[in-house]
Structure formats: structure tokens, C-alpha cells
Structure 1
Amino acid sequence: MKNQDYIELQQYPDHVDKGQVEGLLNEEGETKDEISLTETQLSIVLHRLGYNDFTYMNSNDIQNLPRSTKYMVNIIDKMSIDNAIEIIRNSLADHSQDVNFPKDEYNLLEKLLHSVPNNSEPAPIKIEEDTRPILNEKSYLNIVDWNLQVRLEATLIHYHSPYPEVRAITEPYDDPELLCETFRAYFIGFSWTFIGSIINTCFVHRIPNISLSSHTVQVLLLPCGKLWARYMPNKKIKLFSKTIHINPGPWTYKELMLSTIIYSCSSGVPYSMYNIFVMKLDKFYGLKWVTITFQIFLSISTQFLGFSFAMVMKKVCVYPSTSIWPSILPTIALNKALMDEEDVTHYMSRFKFFIIVAIFSFFYNWMPSYFFKALANFNWTTWFAPLSIHLVNVTGSSKGLGLNPWPTFDWNRIDAGGCLTLPFYSYVNRYLGSILGFLVILLVYYTNHYYSSYFPINSNYLFNNKAKVYDIHSILNEKNQFDDKKYQEVGPPYFSAANLVIYGAHFCLYPFSILYNFATEWNSMKSSFVSVWISLTDAFKSSSNRFGRYSDDPHCKMMSKYDEVPDWWFLTILVVSTSFAIATVIFYDVETPLWGIFLVIFINFIFLIPLTSIASVTGFSFGLNVLIELIVGYLIPNSGLALITLKAFGYNIDSQASNYITDQKLAHYTHLPPKAVFKGQIISTLINIAVALIITNWLLDSKIPDLCQQNQKYNLECPGANTYFYSSIQYGEIGPAKVFKLYPIFKWCFLLGAILVIPCALFKKYGPKKLTTSFQPTIIIGGFLDFAPYNLSYFTGGLYMSYLFMYKLKNNYLHLWERYNYILSSGLTVGVATSSLIIFFMNPPTLHWWGNNVSYQGIEGGKFSDVWKNATSAPDGYIGLRKGDFP
């Protein structure tokens, strides 16, 4: 096949003549030597495109360039000055308030536009030979050849992307004949969905949890595809009216990306599994009527309702070039790195590097997980005085806040915050928030604010007025319904100091994040609301131009070759999933009125625009779980079951919508057929639900000792399920009205979040550039949430790794970082997940020696009390409000 990706007409609309470009191709589809650029001009172009090895190349050597570079050189060579000026003028208007558009490049565009000569076709500025050394990393910011540079910048923007991080990982052309939607891509993707769902569901209740991330599986998909292409027979199978080609040829870039998307859609455990755990386990509600039919209805409805919402969000978060989705860029970068077939003899291959790292990680993980557990929980600071409550409170890894300069040698703990995935500035902002949260928690605890000194400092449990874990059954009647008479005897539950700070931060985060993004990115938010309205109106029209005002975007042009997912597919999912949701609340005793389902659907639709818009531009996302708790707690008082039922819908609808939109953007950048992605996601989600239900019920029925208890043998302490359960008590059975009477400071947290917007927005706009560029106050507030039951020990080690790899290595050895960073992270994670799975199912005998016992001595091991003050010494033998004054 000839290189049609160079001669497709839609790649050269308006500004470039197709015939001219075709004239640059020989019979093999390769570029001829017929370009008018001089050697010096070609050097300038190549430096701008990031190929510094070709500084002094001759135009005859253009065949040594990568395809995408030759493609861009051809367009630059043939673009007219008038069209280039028009592109730059429009770009300056479009990106004037764009936080992601590089300021230096924006200033360059302004200089180019202000330097337009009087005549429309000026002669290029001559560059003397001795000026060539100026071609360094930032030399393109200087105008040395206006004629060339105005065409160069216009081409980058209009034919690739305005954003350098997107240009670095995507291609400016597409080959629609490249294999994508093949049987093997689906089969391999679904197989890893099955395997990943087993591992992720088994260990989601572990602290820290172990999971097969999409990046990890992405690396494993490569050898699977390569081995399939090499050894599977080249046969065709007839199935009904379809012909399935078992092995159609070499494993391709698009097949790898499609399989990755199939897995990533279901890489997380369905949120409804927390409902099932909390409802069935005797430690929690212990309900016997939670049948498999109910579980299927709940899981399918919560997982699929969000898919239907994505129909109206394509013009908001998929088609616009401004919606870059920073969180997905590493996935595309890794895909490109894995499929890069260049012959680089002086570097180790990525796959060989991955194998070495994974094997090392597999064997090493036996040390902190089995032979020498003190390496995982390296709370050495408490070994000097294991019975000192104050030392444990500050530095303890199990019971305290984890202030420790080197808290672990376990990769699973080090990577708890995504240290090799998140940008360094993002990790630092989050860690700064965690440090501030640490200080506030200490202040709350040691001032005995709201009786917090009588409880463990860093617990996600609730406590009664005798400082014992709150027993939900003590305030319920025989029908598991709230009994006010019993409640008036037992009293309200109380928060630990860390839990107080976490909920306060949640209440502060909701108004702050929305208002702050409106204040700093108003144009982007306004455009999003307009786009949603256009999408809703277009859904009921037959329009030939599905991209609307984004039809000039280069990636939209390339995607126009593929059929879009019909709206009726989304509407069918909406009807079916809504029907399942209605059946869940009508036929089962979840104490939830029918209108509650439609209420949470409406709330999610209202918040869908700001949440997805924020995530698409900034990469930061958060859920509506706490907000839903408050609303449901007020509207349906004294029902923990109603709260967790509607909470599952309220959190997961927007979460799943965001997942689908994110994957559609991945497909948009990598030019995959939208229908293929849609089918893969639907089937993958169904597989994930089936496996998760089987594993969850197996865990509940297998009588694992001390499941969801502290200091459980396999660390299955269920941090998520415990938080889920106790929030159902506090905001469901007890109700937010009583909570706010007990903790009136929570009401002021909403106001605090709104007020903080003013100084943060002003600082972002007028503060020193060195600080404001990396200043992300929303992420800082998010750092307050990294406690109870987690603490600083899960993020400190990651800070060092983030500094080394995401800052030092990335800035000083970019090529090495691009080649190996994500491979390193994936290899380490695969080794940990594999060895942990073997240890879990082998269940070897416990080794009792100093290296396994030292971290769990004294208070840290749960053998002595982890509270400072004794509640029995309080007046009347209990703390808090007096009987008769309970809210």
C-alpha cells in the first residue's frame, strides 16, 4: 500500500493544494527531494519539530526523517503567507484565555503578526552561517526568518495541535486502512479485562490496594499481540454473515490502543461492590435478602447510566482542541513508545527493560510482603518508644499521621499517589495540601476540638460517647430501621480528628473548585455550556456536519472518515439502565423512593458540565459522593440503605460518563473508529461486572477471618467499605441535620470554600509567574483528603520518586524519560501485583521474627490503646453531649 496518509485530500483543505503535495511523492509513496526550503531553513524547521540530530542535514537526506516530520515539512513548504497569517490571527483570538497554551508561543505568534511586512510575500530574512549556533532548544522564539516561521507556526497549529504536549505524542495524519477493529484486538482486550477484574476486585479492600493499572496492562498487551501475529494461523472463520480473520497481519498501533481502551474502561472495580459488601457483611448491615438478581440490577444500572450522558458531551470535551485531557496523555505516549519500531542500538529495548524490571519487582516484593514486612511499614521512628501515644500520633504509619522522612521500601506504598504518572507540580501541590492537613489534624486533636482527643487521631471509624466503635445495630429496630428511642439512649456518633478535617475539606472543595474554575477559566466554561445546548438541539436534527464549529480541527478532519456512534445507541442504554434502576428500588427493600433515582440523575446532569470541563482542561477530577450524602440525608432521613443506594448512582453516573468521554478523546487523538470503542467498552463493562460480582460474593462467603477488621492478616481492612458504611450511619441513619447540630463548623466550610476563591484567583492572576504557573489550589485542598485511614507515609516516598523521575530526569534527560519512565512504573506494578496474588492464594505460614514483628509492636500493632484521653474518666463516665441534649 502506498502512503495514502500523505495524499488524503482532507489533510490539505483550503491552504494547501493536493496536487502540489502529490508531486512530492515517488512511485513508492515516499517523499521526493522537491522542496524549496534551504538547508538552513530545514534546520530551523527540524529544530522546531524536535529533531536536533538533523541540524546540518541536506534536503537530499529528508528520507531519513520520520513520516510525521516529512508530512509537516511538505505542508510548511507549500503553505501561502496569506493563509498562514489568517491562521495565526484566529489562533490569537481563540487562545487568549487558554491556560494550557504556552505563553512563550503565544508571545511568538503576537510578534509574528505584528511584524507582517507591507508586501504580502516578503523575502526571507537571510541567516548567515555563523548564526547557526542560535538553534538551541528555545531558538524558535526569536524571529530570524519571518517568511518561514509564520508558515511553520501556522502549520503546527492548524495541521497538528496548538499544544506541544499533544504534538509530541500524536500524529498529524491518519491511515484509515491500518488494522484496528480486529477479532484479536477484542479477544486480547476482553481477556485482560477478565484477568484484571479478578486481581482488582480481590485487592480493592486491601490497604494499600493492589491493582493492575491500564498502563501496566498496556505494556502486557504488546507481547500478546505480537505473539498472536507470529503464531496464530492465518485463517478466516464464517460466523453468520460475518467473516472473522483470525490473524490478519502484524499487530498494529491502533489495535494496541483499542485493546488498551477496552481494558481501561473496566480497570476500576464497579462502585456498587461497596454497596454489596456493606449490605451483606455481618460486620456492617448483615442483610440476608441481598440476592444475586438485586446485585445485577444495581451494578448494571449504576455502571451504564453514565454512558448515556456522554452523548451530549462530545462537543464539549472531545471535539475541541482546548480539551486536551492531561490525564490521558501518558497513555498515548506509552502506546507510541511501545509501538515505535525504530532501530536504536545504543538503548535497551523497552520490552526487555520491562521484563527485567517486572522480574526484579516480582522477587523483591516477597521481602516487604512476606519475609521482611518491616520494609513495607518502615515506622522506625516508633521503635524507640512504641508505647508513646504522642510519638505514634505524629509519626506512626499504622495508627498515626505518618510523618516520617523515609516511611517505606514497598513500591505499592510508594506509588499510592501515582508518583511516576502525575506531573511533578501536581504531586507537590497535593503533598503540600497533605502537610497542611497534617498540621490542622494535630491542631484539632491536641485542642480536644469536639472531643477528638478521646478517639484515635487517624481513623475512618465512628465512635460512641464511651470512645468505642459505634454499633449501628444499637440504634436500629428489628427491621433495620432507625429507632429514635434507642438513639436517645446511645447518643450520636463522633468523628476522629482526621475524619473531621476530611469532611470539612470536602465541604470546602465543592464550592471552591466550581467557583475558582469559573473565575479563572470563564471563557472555557461559557463555551462548554453553549456546546452542550448545541449538542442537545443537534440530537434531534439530521446534520451533515457533526463537528460543527470544530470541523477545521485537524483531528476532527481525520475522524470524519469514521462513522459516529448513533444517538439512538446512547438512548437505548439510557432506557435500559434506567429501567434496571427503577426495578432496583421498586422490587427490593432499599428504602428508596422512585423519585430519588430521577433526582440523582438530574443532579448529575447539572454537574456533568463543570466536572468534565474541569477534568478535560486541568486533569483534576472529583466525585459527588459527599454532596449526594448531604442531599439524600436531608430528603430521606434516617435511612442508611437509601443513602448508599442513591450514593452509588450519584457518584457513578458522572464517573462513568467521564470514563467514556475520556476514552473517546483517546480514540479521537489516535484516530480509532468511535463505534469500535463503544462496542468494546460496553462488552468490557459487562465482563467487569460479572467477574466483580463473582469475586465479591466469594470473598463474603469464604469466611476470611477478621475481614474488614483492623490488622487483618492479608491487610484486607476494607478502607473504602468502612468509610462507605460509616457515612451511611452518620448521614443516613442519623442524618445531616443532627450532624450539623453536633458539628456546626461544617456549615462554615462551605462559606470558607467560596471565600478562598477570591485570594487564590487574585494570586493566580497577579502573583509572581514562577509561583502562579504551578499553583493549583484545588489540588492543594484535595491533599487534605489523604488521611483516615491513609496518611503521609503513603505519599512521602512518592515525593522523592516524583522529584527524581518527573522533574530531574524529565528536564535533564527527556529522551530517556520518554522512553523508560512509564515502562518502569508498569514493570514495578506488574511484579508487585503478580507476587501479591501468589502470596494471597498460597497462604504460606506466617514467619515470626523481629523483621516481621518490629513494626507491629506496642500501639502500632493494636496491642495497646491508641487514644490519648480516657473517656471513662470524663464526667458521668462518658464524653460529648449530655443525655437529653442529643440532636
Structure 2
Amino acid sequence: MGGEYKDKLNQLGTVSVLEINELAPDQSLSNTEKKNALVSIEEAYHHEPDVIVDRIKESGDMDDILAEDADFIVGKVYTIDVATSLEVLQEAIEDFGTDINFPEKTLQRLKLLVQGEDIYGQGPVLYDLDLRLEAAMLKFHSPYPEVRSVCSPVDDPTIPVETFRAYVIGLFWVIVGSFVNQMMGFRQPYFTLSAQVIQLLSVPCGQLAARILPDVSLFGIKLNPGPWTFKEQVFVTILTNVGAHGAMFVYYAPTMRLKLFLGQEWMGYGFTVIMGLGCEFFGMGLAGVLRRWAVYPVKSVWPTILPTLQLNRTLLLPEKKKNIHGWTISTYKFFNILLAGSFLYFFIPDYLFTALSTFNWPTWIAPKNRDLAYVMGSRIGMGFNPINTFDWSIVNYSTPLVLPFYTIANRYLGSFIGAIVILIMIYTNYKYTAYIPPNTADVYDRFGKVYNVSRVLQNGKFDADLYKQYSPPYMSAGNIVYQSASYVLVTFAFVYVILSEWKIFKEASQGFIKSLKNRQLSNYERYTDPVSVLMRQYPEVPDWWFLIVLGLSFVIACISMAAFPTTTPVWVIVVTYVITIALLVPFIVLYSSTGYFLSFGALGMILGGYMAPGNGLACLFTRIFGVGADWQSETYVGDQKLAHYAKLPPRAVFRAQMLATLFQILSSAGSLEFLVRGLPNFCSYTQESRFVCTFAHTLYGDSVIYGFVGPHRTFDNLYPTLKYCFLIGALIAVPCFYARKYFNKQLRFVHPVLILGGFMTFGSTYNLSYYTPGLYASFVFMYYIRRRYLAWWAKYNYIMTSALTAGVAFSGILIFLGLQYKPKKLVWWGNEVSTAGVDGKMVATYRTAPEGGYFGLPEGSWS
């Protein structure tokens, strides 16, 4: 019987199951005969399993499954019965019905399947097959295609992970990566030794170690356990991920330390390290607490880490050759070709023809036209330019081939609206914004000059009399929009995310309380998804380990404030940490599902201003410890999710993160010393190698407004509407939640948190020019290709973004060291045209100061 139906199945070819109405070629079977055929096919599976295996593989319904895992999933199809399958599908509809990351097409298919064979309309054979296949995918794998394309549903616990050679290689790249990335993080546009680049560099290191290290044991540790493994590579990746970005606390140091800003020259290497220990290990401790909200739940997809996992697989694991839409090239070869091309091409926009990077071509038509520069400009303006760059470092600014398309689109919508609002503010001279460049983080005095904070300070403290004689601080239109959106977003996101993800919050909170009562209770026992079930074989990291780290780092943070002349009361740091913990839970849930990072930043400055009036330094420390804690904890949690996907022992990951954090702090602080002592004009807008420290300028402006002048004066006299933004955010979150709940079909892909986040594009030198090219790329690869050519997307998309990014990083570092550190200028039209006009000078205002020489509030009306 099996052979007869094998012939009929072979006639189906590769036609999708959704397009087949009958099993028999002549379409003449009755319902009874169809049911008998189903039984026969099940028998055929047992006698000739390749029949069903080939049928499912060729159907196109498993294009996003790793080739080596296809047999595993197919084997599960006929181990799950119909009743169980219906239960799995119904539960999935309830859990993922409003989840934007869950494919809409799959959701509709599940709804048809649970309504029965007649509604599904494909006949009993295909109905049964599709029902079981969808249930098997959900029960034994991930519900998300992007996760299935990089994560395996099986595990081998005998593979070496935490080896001596992995620690040596990983810590070496932690030092190199953190030093280079901290340095390059002060540059605009910045480029880094990303996680993908360091992965690429560490693979040959691991393979070389496997060849040359002796097969001996030292103090019971085996130096060479055999070939370099996939799990060792992921372990090294987690080590280096700690150093694959700059340390947040170091980015604040120039604002406090340099004479260009606050001039606290006593802040040397030692203080920076101690402050880092308090910031980063506090984030590490918080990460352990946050696991229940952002690691174990299936909805925590973490789109930002998937390319990292995919690249590791490409570099280490064998690949089965397969023809995908005519493409047979291996991912490894594909990666190398794009890497080489990106490396060579980046010399053009970054050095040879820089106008291709800042392609503000509309302003070339009339370089002195201020209105044209405001609207179309890429530097001073809003960036309403449809073609504004040929530079991957700018296209990739919003990581368009990693984040979901709805994330990019929603944020772009917010940015687009924000740009229009800014232009309206300038042309109507709202709050004197016509007298200030449109999109700058610097604050200005009433004479149109950058605010000189030293003129309102007496012995380092704010002096009201000097302030009254000098000037209030005035913000640009872009900065006002940025500040307003920041305040609305903090309260809006807190309320909205808690309402929309209440089930996750409830279950995670219950689990945390139970774990404190019972130390032997494993978190994995509370979750039934395939990865958590596999992770039960590894000893878990107890919560009290993380709580000890949390407590010790808190003590160090307090000591750093008390033992140095920071002028910051210790109780200010205590309040900051309490509020950070409260906000971080919903923020981490948002980040884990959308890839959108939301931090404590803006709120920290305001809290510091209220808690330590007139003390700009205290405001900065408040923000440092708040942002440092949430930024680091989100990084650590993301790496824990990466380890979760790769099935690494949790305690090995804990040890790796602790050790890598210490090395990163020492290296990042050293990088800052190198720049401060060795780079002329560091952080000046005129710095020849573009080390302009955009973020430091933003911080300086905020410290003036909320620190020295203070939130009372800012909110009451200058910008009274800002203080209502917190209330507005909390109030509008509730109707927005219910609107999406009851009109989910119409508003499924509208995410108000992301739209509000788009308004925060402005306030410095960034604008639509940094997001428009990313929108194009995201539409093509994360929407069109992902929907039409899923198999191609699953195999090549993440590899492509990794290769292009790696090529830019290698090329950028070579250009900097060889041609820009000690500038070798290439002077010609193509390198000068983008900065020659109004847009390039970045200082033009819509209006000049009126008669009398100043603008703003009447003289003497502020105090």
C-alpha cells in the first residue's frame, strides 16, 4: 500500500500544500477513500519514512528550518496526535494572536486549522498533515521563523564549552575590542569592531589553538580537548560581546573631565575604573534578576542577537548544499565575498569621495540657501532627502537587516512627523528657536552663543545673581522635541508595556518570589518550550549569586561618590538605583521583542536636578549610574539569551560575563586616557579626524539646563509644557493599549512606543538622513524578501549584514590608523562639497539677534 501512495506523492512535486485540493491525480476520491488514504499514508511513513519526509521538505513549509534539523521535526510530526495538535494550535492563537513578531500568515493558517477539515478546505490527508506539522513546529521548535533559521531544537551536552583556550582567546579580544570600540565610539559616524567582526577574528584563533596546543592537562584543566567547537565559539562570543561596545560610563567622562565642558581634571584613570565597577557590575547583578522577564519567555525573541548566532553557525558548522531560488553558494563563501567587497568599497565614501557618505546633493544646487539646508540638509537640517548616502555605516545605523520591519517603519514614522514639527517650531519662532541652529544638542545664551556655564558658577556652584546678569539657557527646536519625547516615552512605555505583557510580568514575578523561598527550585521547570526543557540538564545560576554581585557593586558605587570630590550625596545614587530597577523591567521586555532600546537617560538628569539643585556634576552622576545600570543589564541579558539559544551551561556563562566585565572596565578606561592625552582638540566640533563626541555635547547641554540652572527654572520659566509630558505619557498609554487590543486587526503593526521613540532621532546632529536608507533596506530584506523568499532570507540575510558590517569595520580602522589619525588630507571637490555650504557649517540660524543684541525673555525677568 505504501508503494502505491509513494507514486502518488511523488507526482505532487514541490507544490505547496496550500495549493493541493486532492491527493489523487484524477481528483475522484470520496471522503471515505480519502480517510483510507490517510491511514495508508501513515502506514507508508512507517514502512517508507522517506516518502513523508520528502513530501514535507519539498512542500516549502519548512524553509526556515536548519537543514540538519529537518529530520528531527519530521520525526515529531507523527508522534503527536490530532487532539494534542489542536490544543497546541489553540494555545498558540491565544498567546501569539497580538504578537507582532508572530507571522500573520501563519496565524491565519492556525485559525483555519482549528476550525476543522471542512473550513480548511484541503482534504483530510493534507489537513491532517498540516495540522500535525504546525503543532510539531510550535511544540518542538520556536514559533518564530527568524529563530528557527538560526537555532537548533536539539542539543549535545558533551560538546566542550568552558575551556582554557576559549578563555584566553575570548579575554584577548575583550581587551582589543573594548579599547578600539571605546575609542571609535567618540567618532561621527562611528564604526566598531562589532560582535560579528570579533567572531570572524576569533574563529581562526580557536582553530589554531586546537592545532598547536598540546594534549595535556594542567591543574586538572585539559589544554586541548580536540577540534574547536561551535559551543566554544559561542562562549568566546559571549565573552567578547562584553567588549564589543564601549562602556557607557566612559562616554560620560569627557563631559565632566575636559576643559571644553566642566573641566573636572581630577577624574583620572583610577576614578574611572572604580566608577565602572559600580556601574557595570550593578547591571550584571540586575541581569540575573531580569532573566525571568527577558530570557526564558518564548516571546523574548531578541532580534538583535540572531545574526551573531547565525554567523557562528556559518563559520563553525558544516552546511548541507541546497538550491534555494537558484542560489547554491554556501553561506561561508557568500560571507567572504561580501566581506571583501565591503572592505574595498568603504575606502570610497570614507576617504576618497566623502560626499557619497554625506550625500546632501540637494544643497549643492544652492549652497547658501538656508531654507533648502534646513529641509533637505544632512548635517544641519532635517534630512528630507530621498537618496542621502552610499555608505553602509550610515545605512546600517538603524540595523535594518536585523530589526523587524515594523520596528524600523514605526520609528521612521515618528521621525518623519518629528522633523515636520521641528520645522514648524523654527518658522514660527516657538520658544525663540529661530535664533538657534535647528538641530543641535548645545544650549545657547540670549546672545546666540553656546552657553558658557562658567559665567553662572561661583566656586563650582550655581549663583543666582550671576545667572540673572548673564542669560537663561535656550534649546534648539530639535532638542525641545527630543526632550519632550523622552519624558512622554518614559511613562508611556512603562504603563503600555506592563498592560500589554501583563501575563509575562505576573508569571515572572511569581517565579522570582518562589525561587527566593526555595533555592533548589529551577527556573527551567516553569517553562515547557523546547529550549528550556533542554536546559534543565545544566545546573542553573542561583539568584543569590546575582544578588551578591548587585549588593557589592552598590557599595562600590557609594564609595566612589564619597571618597572623591564628586559633590554628589550618596543618597542620590540610592534613589537613582531604586528608580532604575522599577523602570527596567518593562523596558527590557520591550527591548527583547522589538530591538528598541529605551533607557533611564533623560529622567536621570531631571531627578538629579531636583535632588541636587544647582549641581550639574551630580546630575551627570545620576544619569551615569541610571543609564549605566540599565544599558549594561540589557547587554548582559541579551548575551544570556544567546547562551540560552545555543544551550550553553548557565554557570559557565556567569563566570565568563563576570571576568569579561572586569577586563572591559580596565581596557575602556585606558582607551579614554589614550584619547584625552594624545588626540588634539578631542571632542571639539573641529576635530580633524571626526572625534567630535556628539554625546558629550548632548550631556553638557543637559547638565546646564537641568543641573546648574535646574528643572524648576527650566520648567517654570522657560519651557513649562515639558513638565506635563510625564503625565501625558502615562495618560495616553491606557487608551492606546485598548485601541490596539480591540482593533488589533487594523492596528496590528502600529506600535506607539516605537513611534514616540522616532521623535528622539533629533536633538543632536542625527536626522532622517540616518534612517531613510535603513527604511529602504528593511523593506526589501525584512519585509519583501522575508515574505516572498523565506528560504533565501533564512539562509543569507543575517550573513549579509554581518559581512557588510565587518568589512566596514576592518576598512574603517585601517583608514583611521593609516590616513586619519595623523591626517593625510585628500583635497578635491568630492571631499569638500558636502561641507561647503550652509548645511556643512552647521551654525546658520533662521533669524539673527534682534535690535539690542539679544533675544528671549525680557532682561531681568528670569531668576
Q: TM-score normalised by the shorter chain: which range applies?
A: 0.7 to 0.9
Aligned partners of 1:381 and 1:395 also within 8 Å: yes
Is the partner of 2:760 in helix, strand or coil? coil
Task: Tell me which residue corresponds to 1:160.
Answer: 141
Q: Post-superposition shift, 1:643?
A: 0.8
1 CA distance for matches of 2:460 and 2:496? 42
SS in 1 for 2:78: helix
Output the CA distance in 2 between the equivalents of 1:243 and 1:655: 35
2:398 maps to a residue whose letter is: G
Structure 1 window deviating more from structure 2 (71-80 vs 432-441): it is 71-80
Equivalent in the alignment of 2:38: none
CA distance in 2, matches of 1:362, 1:145: 49
Provide the residue aligned with 2:641 in structure 1: 665
C-alpha distance after superposition, 1:555-577 (max 9, x if no partner): 22211111112334223312321
Q: Which runs of 5+ in 1 are unaligned?
A: 1-32, 55-64, 117-124, 126-137
Encode CA deviations 1:751-808: one digit per residue, 9 max, x unaligned. Answer: 4434543664455345584x52322221121111112211122222222322333333
- Which amino acid letter does the alignment assign opposite residue 212 of structure 2? M
Most deviating of 662-671 and 807-816: 807-816
- Counterparts in 2 of 1:171 and 1:357: CA distance versus 1, 3 Å: closer
What is residue 486 of structure 1 aligned with on the other side? Answer: 466
Q: 2:15 is matched with which residue?
A: none
Query: Normalised by the size of structure 2, how large is the TM-score?
Result: 0.88
Cα distance in structure 2, aligned partners of 1:716 and 1:600: 31
Task: Indicate conservation of the 8 Å contact 1:475/1:483, yes or no.
Answer: yes
Contact 1:105 1:141 in 2 (8 A): no
The answer (yes or no) to whether the contact 1:274–1:724 under 8 Å persists in 2 is no
Matched, 1:736 2:716: no
Q: 1:594 to 1:165 in 2, by over 3 A?
A: same
User: Aligned partners of 1:371, 1:96: CA distance in 2, in Å?
Assistant: 51
SS in 1 for 2:461: coil
Structure 1 residue 495 and structure 2 residue 475: aligned? yes
1:172 aligns with 2:147: no
Mapped partners of 1:363, 1:549: distance in 2: 50
Q: Report SS of the residue matched to 1:547.
A: helix
Equivalent AA in structure 1 for residue 457 of structure 2: L
> Contact 1:201–1:269 at 8 Å: present in 2 too?
yes
- The counterpart of 1:313, out of the listed 290, 306, 309, is 290
Check conservation: 2:461, 2:614, Cα contact below 8 A.
yes
2:488, 2:730 within 8 Å by CA — same for their partners in 1? yes
User: Contact conserved, 1:431 with 1:795, CA < 8 A, in 2?
Assistant: yes
Q: Shift of the alpha carbon at 1:379?
A: 1.7
2:424 paired residue number: 443
The equivalent position to 1:46 in structure 2, one of 31, 34, 57, is: 57
Residue among 860, 867, 883 paired with 2:839: 860
Moved more, 296-305 or 662-671: 662-671
1:65-122 Cα shifts (integer Å, max 9, x gaps): 9542222333333344555455456555655665544555555555555549xxxxxx
Match for residue 35 of structure 1? Answer: 46
Deviation at 1:718, TM superposition (A): 0.8
Q: CA deviation at 1:675?
A: 1.2
Whole-Å separation in 1 of the counterparts to 2:85 and 2:168: 46
Q: Tell me if structure 2 keeps the 8 A contact 1:108–1:141.
A: no
Match of 1:570 among 546, 549, 556: 546
Q: Which amino acid aligns with 1:860?
A: D
| TM-superposed deviation, 1:374 | 1.8
User: Is residue 428 from structure 1 mapped to residue 409 from structure 2 by the alignment?
Assistant: yes
Going from structure 1 to structure 2, the CA distance change for 1:747 and 1:144 (only over 3 Å counts) comes to farther
Q: State the AA in 1 paired with 2:780.
A: L
Q: In 2 relative to 1, CA 102–404 (structure 1 residues): closer, same or farther, beyond 3 Å?
A: closer
The 2-side partners of 1:813 and 1:343 are apart by 19
Do structure 1's residue 276 and structure 2's residue 264 form an aligned pair? no
Structure 1 stretch displaced more, 98-107 or 835-844: 98-107
| 1:833-883 deviation digits (Å, cap 9, x = unpaired) | 223323333324212222222222132343x95112111x34x32111123
Change (3 A) 1:506 1:884: same
Cα offset, 1:234, TM superposition: 4.0
Give the conservation status (yes or no) of the 8 Å contact 1:201–1:695. yes
Q: Alpha carbons of 1:384 and 1:515: their partners in 2 closer, same or farther (altered >3 Å)?
A: same
Aligned 8 A contact 1:419 1:798 in 2: yes
Residue 589 to residue 173, structure 1, CA distance change in 2 (3 Å): same
Counterparts of 2:139 and 2:744 in 1: how far apart (Å)? 32
Which residue matches 1:57? none
Runs (5+) with no aligned partner, structure 2: 1-43
Contact 2:604 2:626 in 1 (8 A): yes
Equivalent residue, structure 1, for 2:808: 832
Distance 1:460 1:482 in 2: 21
Change (3 A) 1:570 1:830: same
Match of 1:511 in 2: 491
CA drift of 1:689 comes to 1.3
Tell me which residue corresponds to 2:34.
Answer: none
Partner Cα distance (1:99, 1:825) in 2 = 23
Counterparts in 2 of 1:326 and 1:352: CA distance versus 1, 3 Å: closer
Hey, what does 2:619 align to over in structure 1? 643
- With 876-885 and 643-652 compared, the bigger mean Cα shift is at 876-885
Kept in 1, the 8 Å contact 2:146–2:794? The answer is no
CA distance in 1, matches of 2:349, 2:300: 41
Q: Show the counterpart of 1:75.
A: 76
8 Å CA contact retained: 1:297, 1:580: yes
Q: Which residue of 1 aligns with 2:451?
A: 470
Deviation digits for residues 715-739 of structure 1 (CA, Å, limit 9, x no counterpart): 1111111111211111111111111
Partner of 1:879: 855
Aligned position for 2:181: 200
Q: 1:204 deviation in Å?
A: 0.9
CA drift of 1:641 comes to 0.9
Residue 768 (structure 2) aligned to one of 792, 796, 811: 792
Separation of aligned partners in 2, 1:486 and 1:470: 13
Match of 2:165 among 171, 174, 184: 184
Deviates more, 1:580-589 or 1:533-542: 533-542
Per-residue deviation, 1:42: 4.2
Is residue 420–residue 805 contact of structure 1 (8 Å, CA) maintained in 2? yes
Q: Distance in 1 between matches of 2:95 and 2:249?
A: 42
- Residues 1:850 and 2:799 are matched in the alignment: no
* Counterpart code for 1:679: R
User: Structure 1 counterpart of 2:828, which letter?
Assistant: W
Q: 1:91 to 1:759 in 2, by over 3 A?
A: closer
1:396 to 2:382 alignment: no
Q: Contact 1:430/1:779 (CA < 8 Å) preserved in 2?
A: yes
What is the rounded CA distance, in whole Å, between the counterparts of 1:444 and 1:391 in structure 2?
16
The Cα shift of 1:452 comes to: 0.5
Q: State the secondary structure of the residue aligned to 2:287.
A: helix
> How much has 1:270 moved relative to structure 2?
1.1
Task: Note if 1:371 corresponds to 2:352.
Answer: yes
Residue 349 of structure 1 pairs with residue 330 of structure 2: yes
Give CA deviations for 1:474-498 in whole Å, capped at 9, x if unaligned. Answer: 1112x32212221111121100111
Task: Tell me whether 758-767 or 332-341 shows the greater mean CA deviation.
Answer: 758-767
In structure 2, C-alpha distance between the alignment counterparts of 1:429 and 1:92, rounded to whole Å: 24
Aligned to 2:36: none
Same amino acid, percent of matched pairs: 36
Give the direction of change, closer, same or farther, for the CA distance of 1:215–1:885 in structure 2 (3 Å limit).
Answer: same
8 Å Cα contact 1:429/1:776 also seen in 2? yes
